[in-house]
Chains A and B, each alone.
Chain A
Amino acid sequence: MTEHAATAAEQHHSYTGLPNRKLLMWAFIGSECMLFGSLLITYLVYRGRSVVGPYPEELLNIPFITVTTFILLMSSLMMVLALAAVQRNDMRQGKLWILMTALLGLAFLAGQAYEFTHFVHEGLGLTTNLFGASFFLLTGTHGAHVAVGVVWLLTLFVMAMRGRLSSADAETVEITGLYWHFVDVVWIVLFTVIYLLV
């Protein structure tokens, strides 16, 4: 680590010895648990109370969503591989895995866009019934988080391409990873609750 990088790393640590940015990210993730918890409870309370169709059992495509779920799970693997590569200063591998994570995130978003379009064509809008309102709000909020993560990852990739990312910045990649994995664990819950517990 260069003297400059070491100094920069020191400046980001609090008196607890823990990095401030990482503390902030975990606190943010804690608050996000509350956000998604509130959206999830809205979905669960409204479940089965729609008085007009279309109903979830008529629309939800389990095989298709299983594929997109698998894609998001594998993107988490790409993310940890990216962090491991950056930590050992293997920037070639680091760039590759960061790009792969972003591309898998984009593939997940494409799947969600297809699903939303299909639902709208089948007559389910945001104001059609309670299922539509709570479903689009919950999965749409999650999709927005994935989109933010993709932009964040692509920014890291551009930084890496310009030579502005090294092992000294492993904490930056780790924090990005924390956000990305959280988006993944939220989907693990949503996949089970929305699609499998119909």
Chain B
Amino acid sequence: MENSTAQHEHASVKTYLVVAAVLGVVTAVEVAIFYVEALEPILVPLLLTLSAAKFALVVGFFMHLKYDSKVFRGLFIGPLIVAVAIILAMLALFGVFGGGAGGA
């Protein structure tokens, strides 16, 4: 049986460098956006989107989830969905979205 690292084709070194550059640029954009007052109304969705993009880049390319077995994908994305669902449920429960017990 082949070694797992040989079973699935990973990204090239050039791809890794491009991904790292994108990560650096997106981080700089995030911080720049933070200081732009005009963007304050859309700051939260904008920053969360950029953060999610960085998250996906690292998981997909650096952790090779884009190239690896679907079993690994399930082992990671399953608990991740549960964690995000619990976070959203708790935020709603504590009134962070403008209602609920905490908002009273």
Interface of A toward B, CB cutoff 8 Å: 1, 9-10, 13, 16-19, 22-23, 26-27, 29-31, 33-34, 36-38, 40-41, 44-45, 62-63, 66, 69-70, 73-74, 76-77, 79-81, 83-84, 87, 168, 170-171, 174, 177-178, 181-182, 184-185, 188-189, 191-193, 196-197
Contact = CB atoms under 8 A, between A and B. Distances in A.
B4 A76 contact: no
Contact of B1 (A10, A27, A37, A77): A10
B38 interface: no
Main secondary structure of the interface of A (DSSP, over half): helix
B87 A40 contact: yes
Contacts of B102: 45
Interface of B: 1, 3-5, 7, 10-11, 13, 16-17, 19-20, 23-24, 27-28, 30-31, 34, 43-44, 47-48, 50-51, 54-55, 58-59, 61-64, 69, 71-72, 75-76, 78-80, 82-84, 86-87, 90-91, 94, 96, 102
Contacts of B71: 16, 18, 23, 26
Given A33-B76, A37-B86, A177-B62, A70 B27 contact: yes
A185 B55 contact: yes
